[in-house]
A and B are shown apart, each in its own frame.
Chain A
Amino acid sequence: DGGITQSPKYLFRKEGQNVTLSCEQNLNHDAMYWYRQDPGQGLRLIYYSQIVNDFQKGDIAEGYSVSREKKESFPLTVTSAQKNPTAFYLCASSPRGTGPYEQYFGPGTRLTVT
């Protein structure tokens, strides 16, 4: 059963702590993405990776870090430097290529920092 998994679905942390959100895909996709979704803001791109061992900053990378050591995994760390980390985080993947650029999304992780 192919797809993208994100865990956990809900995550609670105290302010000042780093937290890592998991994203795994078994679709054999080269590209992976992290988005943040806030009410009324739509999706904003945090980081993306087109290939293993390479990644680029998106529009709102400050306070976040990522790694791409394996094709199937793209974990996101929300650091204590992120001023407003409470949000819904979505991971996505897509095949590389020139065709329709469909991104497949995971179910999301809702992070609450108090």
Chain B
Amino acid sequence: GEDVEQSLFLSVREGDSSVINCTYTDSSSTYLYWYKQEPGAGLQLLTYIFSNMDMKQDQRLTVLLNKKDKHLSLRIADTQTGDSAIYFCAESNQAGTALIFGKGTTLSVSS
């Protein structure tokens, strides 16, 4: 079945780059997504990438997609303490009716 895997924790220092990795199983997903969740809140969409792209850049965020290896990564440049949150990778299910989320990576940024 469809599955999305992420490492659970990442700790970086303020000003460094953060790289959060994700692997997924469904190669038919048209879009792949990164969501952010701050403590006690809902999720908000950070960015997405179309499956025929290798890279997408949006200000401090860079998404890399390796479709052959089914590997997705999110790079946050110049990480700030306000970036501390849980980051979820997601893909569409095969029917295209719902999203499948990974377990989330908790990013901790120290000053």
Contacts and interface: CB of A to CB of B under 8 A. Distances in A.
Interface of A: 4, 31, 33, 35, 40-43, 45, 48, 50, 56, 58, 90, 92, 98, 100-108, 110
Given A42-B88, A43-B88, A56-B97, A108 B42 contact: yes
Contacts of A103: 43, 45, 99
B42 A90 contact: yes
A42 B102 contact: yes
Main secondary structure of the interface of A (DSSP, over half): strand
A103 B42 CA distance: 11
Given A45-B98, A50-B97, A101 B104 contact: no
A103 B44 CA distance: 8
Nearest to A106: B42
B99 A90 contact: no
Interface in B10-65: 30-31, 33, 40-45, 48, 50
A107 B48 contact: no
